């Protein structure tokens, strides 16, 4: 009898374990299905086209591709598709720097001139490695220079030559005083890494990070290289997609020139978690805010923040970084305490990846994900472009209160500029006026409206809007330049 009771207890325990295991598997399947439903809706509304990977508790629960890696040959995106990363590159640059700090070859508090004796300019002796890593150097970002993309983005350059384009620039603020996102700083870090290691930035990354971690599908993206499974980059317009403008990848360099896959970035996440790349001490530096207290929290190559979960009022600590480069935008989000990971690589540029990541994170926590809405801007574009102002405004009045549509400031701004480029200044003015009415606290909406009035030779209205924009954002240098030009005329 005793044995019979024991056998029954064992069978009961086994049945309970099987039930628990099957429930966990089913829950995991439900999560994957919900994530797929969310991504499918984003893709249906032309708001995501790329590759995605999601890990829950360190284990991959979802990995897939949506839309086309190459639209001309109908090649679909997959988890193996190689996408340009843009500024996700910066965390790899930061990791290389910290490795050299651990080896005593770099000091965080030493200035640029220690490692680049021939570097000349106001920053040479006062801007440190720490300042470069944390975007607190005060050096102007070269990508914000007037007409940089129109005049320089197609021209190859060596790091030694290219740093001369910003080395003599006046510092925008005292180093360490505040945070101002800056590509020049990470470009300089790449140049310093080459000088210290005696190897190219590309080679140093390969030997120190990519090869040891078996990240065989990650590297420095070069136009001339035959790269299997490379995604093409596209720009979304009001009437479809077009190939993204060419960019010579010697210019993003250590600030944004890498490519990778979602699967390789999962390997990166696992290696960071296991301290295979950096010591625990260095990793804490990387993932702790290193800048003066304020709105922006930035470590070394990572943003430090929290992500809310549903409507619970709770939020979860995260480290994350996005990237944007011609034809691509990307996002990697790590939740160190929960050991979760979300990687989103999009090859049509401009997708709202932070909203998508928030929805995925809600699903991981059993909360409902907010579904995307159709783009009001994309619905308005063909009407303004083909039928004119009156029809465009009528369409706006019809759709603005429709809950299936959402208005986005950036998309409306893009729509207005596309109309301007098409010679439709009157239509552009009305679109920018809608944007001002919808987003009255944004200085950029007034700046754009001012430009449209200027193109339409309505000088007084242009000046009024530029003045409003500068009043709201005293650092709007382009607005100051345009205002000065009109006043002189």
| For range 433-450, the mean pLDDT | 97
pLDDT digits (tens, 9 = 90+) for 442-468: 999 999 999 999 999 999 999 999 999
CA distance 163 to 167: 6
Q: Which two tokens stand for residue 119?
A: 């570097």
Residue 181 pLDDT: 94
pLDDT digits (tens, 9 = 90+) for 378-422: 999 999 999 999 999 999 999 999 999 999 999 999 999 999 999
Q: Residue 177 — pLDDT band, cuts 50, 70, 90?
A: very high
Task: Name the pairing type of β-strands 328-335 and 59-65.
Answer: unpaired
Domains contained in the chain, CATH given: 86-364 (3.40.710.10), 374-488 (1.25.40.10)
pLDDT digits (tens, 9 = 90+) for 137-173: 999 999 988 888 888 889 999 999 999 999 999 999 9
pLDDT digits (tens, 9 = 90+) for 262-295: 999 999 999 999 999 999 999 999 999 997 656 6
Q: Which two tokens stand for residue 289?
A: 């805010």
**Residue holding tokens 């209160």?**
401
CA distance 42 to 374: 9
C-alpha distances (whole Å) from 253 to each of 82, 140, 159, 261, 347 are: 17, 17, 8, 19, 19
pLDDT digits (tens, 9 = 90+) for 345-367: 999 998 999 999 999 999 999 99
Helices 183-197 & 89-102, crossing angle to 10 degrees?
A: 40
Residue 21 pLDDT: 43
DSSP code of 435? H
Residue 19 pLDDT: 45
- Closest CA relative to residue 340, chosen from 90, 60, 26, 34: 60
DSSP code of 207? I
Predicted structure pTM score: 0.89
Q: Residue 18 — pLDDT band, cuts 50, 70, 90?
A: very low
Residue 313 pLDDT: 85
pLDDT higher than 80, residue 429: yes
Task: Name the pairing type of β-strands 340-346 and 328-335.
Answer: antiparallel
Residue 17 pLDDT: 47
């Amino acid at each position: 009898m005793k044995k019979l009771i024991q056998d029954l207890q064992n069978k009961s325990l086994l049945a309970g374990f099987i039930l628990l295991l099957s429930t966990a598997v089913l829950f995991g399947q439900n999560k994957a299905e919900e994530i797929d439903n969310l991504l499918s809706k984003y893709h249906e509304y032309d708001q995501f086209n790329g590759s995605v990977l999601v890990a829950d508790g360190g284990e991959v629960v979802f990995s897939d591709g949506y839309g086309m890696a190459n639209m001309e040959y109908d090649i679909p995106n997959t988890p193996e598709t190689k996408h340009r990363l843009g500024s996700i590159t910066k965390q790899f640059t930061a990791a290389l720097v910290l490795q050299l700090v651990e080896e005593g070859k770099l000091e965080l508090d030493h200035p640029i001139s220690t490692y680049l004796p021939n570097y000349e300019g106001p920053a040479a002796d006062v801007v440190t490695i720490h300042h470069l890593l944390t975007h607190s150097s005060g050096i102007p970002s070269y990508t914000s220079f007037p007409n940089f993309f129109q005049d320089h983005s197609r021209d190859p350059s060596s790091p030694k030559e290219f740093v001369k384009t910003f080395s003599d620039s006046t510092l925008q603020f005292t180093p360490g005083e505040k945070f101002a996102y800056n590509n020049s700083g990470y470009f300089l870090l790449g140049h310093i890494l080459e000088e210290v290691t005696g190897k190219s930035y590309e080679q140093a990354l390969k030997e120190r990070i990519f090869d040891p971690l078996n990240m065989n599908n990650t590297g420095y993206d070069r136009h001339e290289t035959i790269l299997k499974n490379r995604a093409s980059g596209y720009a979304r317009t009001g009437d479809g997609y077009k190939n993204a403008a060419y960019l010579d990848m010697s210019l993003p360099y250590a600030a944004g020139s890498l490519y990778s896959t979602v699967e390789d970035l999962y390997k990166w996440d696992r290696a960071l978690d296991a301290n295979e790349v950096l010591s625990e001490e260095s990793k804490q530096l990387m993932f702790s805010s290193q800048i003066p207290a304020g709105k922006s929290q930035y470590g070394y190559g990572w943003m430090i923040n929290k992500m809310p979960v549903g409507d619970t009022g709770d939020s979860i600590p995260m480290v994350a970084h996005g990237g944007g480069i011609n034809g691509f935008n990307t996002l990697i989000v790590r939740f160190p305490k929960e050991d979760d990971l979300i990687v989103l690589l999009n090859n049509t540029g401009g997708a709202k990846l932070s909203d998508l990541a928030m929805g995925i994170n809600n699903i991981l926590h059993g909360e409902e994900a907010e579904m995307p809405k159709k783009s009001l801007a994309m619905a308005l574009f063909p009407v303004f472009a083909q039928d004119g102002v009156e029809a465009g405004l009528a369409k706006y009045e019809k759709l603005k209160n429709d809950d299936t549509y959402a208005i986005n400031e950036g998309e409306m701004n893009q729509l207005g500029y596309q109309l301007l480029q098409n010679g439709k200044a009157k239509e552009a003015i009305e679109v920018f006026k809608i944007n001002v009415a919808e987003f009255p606290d944004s200085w950029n909406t007034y700046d754009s409206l001012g430009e449209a009035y200027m193109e339409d030779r309505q000088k007084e209205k242009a000046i009024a809007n530029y003045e409003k924009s500068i009043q709201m954002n005293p650092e709007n240098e382009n607005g100051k330049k345009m205002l000065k030009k009109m006043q002189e005329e």
